[in-house]
Amino acid sequence: WRLGTRNEERGITSGVHTPTFDVDESSLQVGSGLMAWLALEELRG
- 24 assigned to some structural domain: yes
**Total domains, the chain:** 1
Q: What is the pLDDT of residues 1-45, one digit of tens each?
A: 677 888 999 999 998 899 999 999 998 899 999 999 999 999 998
Greatest Cα pair distance in the chain: 43
- 27 assigned to some structural domain: yes
d(CA 25, CA 32): 11
- 19 assigned to some structural domain: yes
- 2 assigned to some structural domain: no
Residue 1: C-alpha distances to residues 16, 24, 31, 42, 44 (Å): 15, 18, 10, 15, 20
Q: Let me know if 31 is exposed, middle or buried by CB neighbors in 10 A (0-12, 13-18, 19+).
A: middle
- 30 assigned to some structural domain: yes
Q: What's the domain range around 13?
A: 8-44
- 33 assigned to some structural domain: yes
- 1 assigned to some structural domain: no
- 3 assigned to some structural domain: no
Output the pLDDT for position 4: 83
